[in-house]
Amino acid sequence: MQKSPIIPVKQFKNHENVYQGRLNDVDVIFTKNIDIGQSVYGERLVKDEKGQEFREWNPHRSKMCAYLKKGGKEFQFTKDMVILYLGASSGTTVSHLSDIIIGGRIYCIEFSARSIRELVQRLGNRNNIIPILADATQPGQYRSLIPELVDLVYQDVAQPEQAKLLIDNMRMFLKPGGWFYIAIKARSIDVSQDPGIIFKRQEKVLERAGCQIAETKDITPFSDDHVMIVGVHENN
């Protein structure tokens, strides 16, 4: 096994449990690895001079990291929070959020059996992950598996009707005034429409459902044709 390089690492902005350093002359964002020695998706591991281990957070693989790299202002994750994550796939972004919200929990909804199997294989040592094989358009079907209200809903499903799917889940599971992050891909909604119009329309759907949008951030070139919308839902 290759030895992790030792580099200076410091906190990224004032974001809890997010770090930065320079690796091969490039600025890199890291999270502190809670599953020591394990790389989840091929990301590089480094150590600081105290011997603490960090995992590179790749903005080309994770839209949340792309949002931070593009200067996204809202970082609403804290170390004990409970998250509902819709579209967990095989756990790339989930793994970094798991490093960040160490004492909390992430309920991971994913409808591909293959992806969730991979997620379980990769993240099985982490005790703050709860994988759920389910369709996020049917929140009633997993209601009994989530016996608490959550602090934040994160959604990245790349499907038409994304905003509606988010709203239905927030109404069922999110604490009033809780935060949401939604990665929206214009082409998944309508290939023929101008992306700017599509994003505005999704914002309107969210606002009509009682959301206050704090920021809409274009996350190209890390994810083409995508924005991250961040805001608060008043649960009306």
Q: Which is nearer to ligand SAM, 34 or 182 (CB)?
A: 182
Nearer to ligand SAM (CB atom), residue 224 or residue 234: 224
Report the residue closest to ligand SAM, judged by CB.
Answer: 87
Residues with Cβ < 8 Å from 30, sequence gap 6 or more? 9, 12, 18, 19, 20, 21, 46, 54, 55, 56, 57
CB 63 to ligand SAM: min, Å: 6
Write out the residues near ligand SAM by the rule CB under 6 A.
62-63, 87, 89, 92-93, 109-112, 115, 135-137, 156-159
Asked whether the beta carbons of 80 and 104 are under 8 A apart, the reply is yes
Shortest distance, CB of residue 234 to ligand SAM, whole angstroms? 24
Contact criterion met (CB below 8 Å) for 30 and 47: no
User: What's the closest the beta carbon of residue 48 comes to ligand SAM, in angstroms?
Assistant: 26
Dist. CA 9–CA 132, nearest whole Å: 34
Q: Which is nearer to ligand SAM, 17 or 115 (CB)?
A: 115
CB closer to ligand SAM, 21 vs 131 = 131
Determine the Cα–Cα distance for residues 145 and 109; give it in Å rounded to an integer. Answer: 11
CB of 223 to ligand SAM, least distance (A): 9
User: How many whole angstroms separate alpha carbon 12 and alpha carbon 182?
Assistant: 22
CB of 6 to ligand SAM, least distance (A): 28
Give the nearer residue to ligand SAM in terms of CB position, either 47 or 70.
Answer: 70
Nearest to 180 by CA among 219, 204, 215: 215
